[in-house]
Amino acid sequence: MTAHSTATPSRVGMVLRVTSGNFMEMFDFFLFGFYATAIAKTFFPAENEVASLMLTLMTFGAGFLMRPLGAIVLGAYVDRVGRRQGLIVTLGLMALGTILIACVPGYASIGALAPALVLAGRLLQGFSAGAELGGVSVYLAEMATPGNKGFYVSWQSASQQVAIIVAAALGYGLNLWFTPAEMGAWGWRIPFFIGCLIVPVLFVIRRTLQETEEFKRRTHKPDLRTILRSMLDNWGLVLAGMLLVALTTVSFYLITIYTPTFGKAVLKLGGSDSLIVTLCVGLSNFIWLPVMGALSDRVGRRPLLIVFAVLTMASAYPAMRWLVADPSFEKMLAVELWLSFLYGSYNGAMVVALTEVMPVSVRTAGFSLAYSLATAVFGGFTPAIATALIETSGDKAAPALWMSFAAACSLGATLVLYRRYHARGGDWRRRPDPQYP
């Protein structure tokens, strides 16, 4: 057997092991968003249904406020002790948050302690997720074969789509087996318990990870103080990175986490219809992400980032207006698949670009901080912002304006980042120097 034939399965296994935690993170996040209505009634009862839902969505978004802190603390830990050990720690913290949300009794049983514990679970999940995504992306970038970094790193986001597909399929099955009343009372907890059962398997899988050769070769392991100083020295880069990620976070949470709520509460479509659409979106994302990641290896990151940011600005609101004018399952599927194409094409190039512009010694912390800030400022509160925009404006297509605004921010960041790189003698057709700026 040749070296090449043994290397390929080995690398496939490495990708599967490192992305397993990403699956868990998005599985839980999707469940919280999809069952937001039931969670609102269980933990945040209020006389006004919209107020109850908003409290739930704000709790969902609150977890993202912990991401920047997790990005710095856990990201520094990953950069200091290694990718493998750091990813095991983030998975453990994420599991604790999941178990807490799954097992907390409702407001009727323990009163105000119930929503407080759910909030604590979300904050713990957010803290761990702050470094999980960055750690996975950096690991994939460092293990990639020459000329294929975009393709390898794209599997970080692609693994999240598998979680969306599994969670949507599970929800669809539960809707067939149980009545709406049963799902609202206790059935919504079943997927969370299933998530808890998956955790031990993921621990076994992730413990078999090998440390990346690039990290092993490094002689300097920065401590937390050094990393904080580097983040302050490179604050402009972190800010630009945050804006670069804005379109990714807003579009993802809009077309996946918010879609079931939008379909049921705004378009008045059936819960099963919304789940089928979400499942199809997950499949579409899964296809476009690695395809566009590989394309970015051939044509460069910058062209894809610019083209799909502009396409989003031009088409998101008209597409959404067409949908809400006469809602139907077919039209919702068509619009969501178009938005999925825009998301997958942009994100396929964006994630690898963000790993490349961060200084090597603080790559995980820098990536994680930029991504976490974008999620906290833009993406995490997208379901709540979308609900508020519709409520205040009366325009059911208003969430698309939020997506267009994020696209404008990302377009500006792309132009600034690559103009600065070109000014330093770089060529956007090749990947940027990891030491930039």
**Comparing 41-55, 141-155, 331-345, 386-400, which segment has the lowest mean pLDDT?**
41-55
Tokens at residue 317, please? 């609101």
Q: Between 60 and 282, where is the model more confident?
A: 282
| pLDDT of 186 higher than 60 | yes
Let me know if 235 is exposed, middle or buried by CB neighbors in 10 A (0-12, 13-18, 19+): exposed
- Residue 282 placed within a domain: yes
**Average pLDDT for 130-156:** 82
Whether the pLDDT of residue 435 is over 50: the answer is: no
pLDDT for residue 303 is more than 90? yes
Number of domains in the chain: 1
User: Percent of the chain scored above 70 by pLDDT?
Assistant: 86
| Residue among 218, 316, 317, 320 nearest 262 (CA) | 320
0.75 surpassed by pTM: yes
Q: Give Cα separations from 366 to 128, 148, 433 (angstroms).
A: 16, 22, 15
Query: At CA 111, angle to CA 110 and CA 114, rounded to 5?
Result: 70
Q: For 245-266, what is the mean pLDDT?
A: 87
Q: What is the pLDDT of residue 82?
A: 67
| Mean pLDDT of the region 380-396 | 88
Residue 180 lies in a domain: yes
Residue 347 within any structural domain of the chain: yes
Q: Summarize the confidence of residues 163-186 as an average pLDDT.
A: 83
| Mean pLDDT confidence for 391-418 | 93
Contacts of 172 (CB under 8 A, 6+ apart): 272, 275, 276, 279
Is 430 a domain residue? no
| pLDDT for residue 78 is more than 90 | no
Per-residue pLDDT for 226 more than 80? no
Task: In the chain, count H helices and then E strands.
Answer: 20, 0
Looking at the domain assignment, is residue 8 inside a domain?
Answer: no
* CATH code: domain of residue 86: 1.20.1250.20
Between CA 21 and CA 15 the distance in angstroms is 11
Work out the mean pLDDT of the chain and round it to a whole number: 81
Q: What is the sign, positive or negative, of the torsion defined by CA atoms of 347, 352, 353, 359?
A: positive
Integer CA distances (angstroms), 56 to 17, 171, 256, in order: 32, 19, 17
pLDDT > 70? residue 425 = no
pLDDT of residue 431: 44
Lowest mean pLDDT among 211-215, 262-266, 295-299, 383-387: 211-215
Say how far apart CA 375 and CA 131 lie, in whole Å. 12
pLDDT at site 46 = 66
In a domain, 429, yes or no: no
Tens-place pLDDT, residues 312-356: 999 999 999 999 999 999 999 999 999 999 999 999 999 889 888
Q: Is the pLDDT of residue 248 over 70?
A: yes
Q: Which domain holds residue 312?
A: 15-211+219-423
3 domain-assigned: no
Indicate if the alpha-carbon torsion angle 319, 321, 324, 326 is positive or negative.
Answer: negative
Of 199-208, 217-226, 351-360, 404-413, the range with the lowest mean pLDDT is 217-226
Stretch 412-434: mean pLDDT, rounded? 61
For position 399, what pLDDT does the model report?
Answer: 93
The whole-angstrom separation of Cα 66 and Cα 64 is 5
| 4 assigned to some structural domain | no
The predicted model gives 246-272 an average pLDDT of 84
